[in-house]
Chain A
Amino acid sequence: MSLVEVKGMHFRYPGVGGRGKEEWTLDDLDLSIDAGSAVGIVGESGSGKSTLVRVLCGLLFHQQGEVAFDGRDIKSWLKSEPRELRRRNQIVFQSPRRSMDPRMSIGRSLSEPVRAIERRAPTTDEMVEWLKRVGLTDEVLPRYPHQLSGGQLQRVGVARALSVGPEVLYADEPTSALDVSVQAQVLNLMMDLRAQLGLALVMVSHDLAVISRICEEVIVMKDGLIVEAGPMTEVLSNPADPYTAALVEAARAVSMQA
């Protein structure tokens, strides 16, 4: 069942490319994301992958084309049921330190989505459940972000995103800022949670190796365009597009051969 449908989407940052210059950050994109799937979006810097994810989850707004969630255009959702849209789509960011307000306690940060979406303060029991899901305990609740490590903060970020029970979890380079040893922990966590909660996972990464372990489908982007998309095994072993081929080859060259 397709949860997210994108047709002919164009996006440009406001204020960019003025004077009628037709330069889109995201150029005529079509894609769809099924419930419960694991999709990877790969590309190099400037490919627009992070921008795409933000448009998909309603943080940025496309100028042309359609972006539909569960059959309805995002703009219609935001007009009639904005909180429901937010509840069902959540996002985890790249830098754990930048994604937590340094002046809010972990407990407060953790409770924000429920406060905003369900208009209530979550109970401590609930918060401990969320923390347990990501391998943390109630000890972190009164702490502040600077007292936690990057890996721990990222886990809090995941807990926070999942606290409202979304159907789609977007992850923008969730492990790029983490050490390799911690990266594996967070990736395993995401795999486990997806299995347990039936989430759709949309992960952006520049690291093909990470994508190849977690995602079943992959979308390759370059300069705002989708260059290739399909099942991960297919795209990586038989890339149809020369750019994809170059990307895979480069990634293989610096990938671990043990």
Chain B
Amino acid sequence: MLEIKDLQVTIGRHTIVDIERLDVAAGSRLGMVGESGSGKTMTAMTIVGLQPNDAVVTGSITFEGRELVGLSDRQLAAVRGRDIGVIFQDPAKALNPMMRIGRQVAEAIRLHMDLSREEIKERVLDLLTQVQLPDAANLLRRYPHQLSGGQQQRVLIAIAIACDPKLLIADEPTTALDVTVQNGILDLLRDLSVSRKMGLLFVSHDLGVIQTISQTIGVIYGGHLVEYGPVGQVIGQSRHRYTQALIAANPGIADDEHLGEVVNQRLDVIRGSVPALGKFPSGCRFRGRCTAEIDACAEAPEISVSEDGHTFKCWNPVQGAADTEGALDVAR
């Protein structure tokens, strides 16, 4: 449903995003994980044309067969909201504090669909119920500040799915929320994706969250898609060294039996820090921080295949070298 090919986003002299291939099938859930500055948000924003004005985009983003790169702002605005919904990180900032909830949701509908006032109102109530907000009728008249963070985000989800989009892009939607609320939102997004056969592109820096919500994962470092594949594969059998390092550096909560053992044990670190724009090493972007660097890493790695659908770009991956022949074709 969504196909990205050879996408490059450049600002000034810096290439922020450089992705050869990335797909989202209809009704499936793709998680993009990376640290700050990795380009994951830029990629998501570029899909719907919300990249910065001075960004130069080359390559192809096809959505249901239609090319999105190069479309005018107006054309993209038509796609946004109707066919592709977007939700952002901070719900409090995304809602108009001066407008009642009901009206904000209604506006989203009115923009793209031609319905009567009663029809719109019915639809709004229906949407609010679908996002599991209790007492929808009363909520219509409330203002955003009267809702909790989790409720606000649900309203935003309602707005985003108001016109039955085929794809929902979610950029760190749970990062600003408490952990007890996070799970509710993640469950909601998962249910909506399944029941509406709506694709979900979920962007986050939190591996745990990504692991929970996604079916496929793309790991992004320095604007490059360094590993991609089904969740179980990428996390359970990571090939790229960065993926491996990222997983190791993530302090998960140990099982009850092991809780006592890991206290005060040093965490695995990734050496150094993410380079500033323009200061990435030539060749493999992860050079200088990687513990398994070899001479070949001076050249930018090509895409290799691990198993069907699991690709990565590393010359010296975990579990040895892999097959690069025909990798690009096999990769979905």
Contact = CB atoms under 8 A, between A and B. Distances in A.
A160 to B, nearest CB: 19
A192 B269 CA distance: 14
A240 to B, nearest CB: 15
B253 A149 contact: no
B274 A250 contact: no
A2 B245 CA distance: 39
A188 interface: yes
Interface residues of B, number: 42
Contacts of B149: 45
Size bracket, chain A contacts: 35 or more
B17 interface: no
Contact of A188 (B36, B205, B256, B267): B267
Contact of A181 (B35, B183, B212): B35
A49 B133 CA distance: 29
Contacts of A1: none
B268 A184 contact: yes
A114 interface: no
A184 B183 contact: no
A159 B207 CA distance: 30
Given A179-B35, A179-B205, A212 B267 contact: no
Most chain A beta-carbon contacts within 10 A, residue among B252, B253, B264: B253
B250 interface: yes
A179 B179 CA distance: 18
Contacts of A254: 179, 182-183, 186, 206, 208-209, 212
Contacts of B274: 179, 181
Contact of A185 (B207, B269, B276): B269
B278 interface: no
Contacts of A232: 259, 263
Interface in B183-210: 183, 186, 205-209
A121 interface: no
Contacts of A181: 35, 245-246, 249, 269-270, 273-274
A247 B236 contact: no
Nearest to B256: A237
B259 A233 contact: yes
B264 A191 contact: yes
B246 A208 contact: no
A210 interface: yes
Given A179-B273, A251-B253, A214 B208 contact: no
Interface string B200-228: 00000111110110000000000000000
A192 to B, nearest CB: 8
B247 interface: yes
Interface string A16-54: 000000000000000000000010000011000000000
A213 B265 contact: yes
B252 A256 contact: yes
A184 B247 CA distance: 11
A209 interface: yes
A233 B267 contact: no
A64 interface: no
A236 interface: yes
Interface in A192-233: 192, 195, 206, 208-210, 212-216, 232-233
B249 A246 contact: no
B267 A216 contact: no
B211 to A, nearest CB: 6
Nearest to A252: B253
Given A233-B260, A258-B236, A182 B273 contact: yes
B36 to A, nearest CB: 6
A216 B247 CA distance: 24
Nearest to A238: B256
A224 B180 CA distance: 17
Nearest to A254: B208
A99 interface: no
B13 interface: no
B273 A180 contact: no
B292 interface: no
Contacts of A149: 273, 276
A258 B209 CA distance: 13
Contacts of A233: 259-260, 263
A151 interface: yes
B208 A256 contact: yes
Contacts of A183: 249
Contacts of A257: 211, 252
B180 to A, nearest CB: 5
A151 to B, nearest CB: 5
B266 to A, nearest CB: 5
Sorted nearest first, the 4 A-B pairs with minimum C-beta distance are A256-B252, A181-B270, A44-B178, A237-B256
Given A149-B276, A180-B207, 16 more contacts: A38-B264, A151-B273, A181-B35, A184-B269, A212-B253, A212-B262, A213-B265, A214-B263, A237-B256, A247-B180, A250-B179, A251-B179, A253-B212, A254-B179, A254-B212, A255-B208
26 contacts: A45-B178, A181-B269, A183-B249, A184-B249, A184-B251, A184-B267, A185-B269, A188-B266, A188-B269, A206-B178, A208-B253, A209-B208, A209-B250, A212-B251, A212-B254, A212-B259, A215-B263, A232-B259, A236-B259, A247-B179, A253-B183, A254-B179, A254-B182, A255-B253, A256-B250, A258-B250
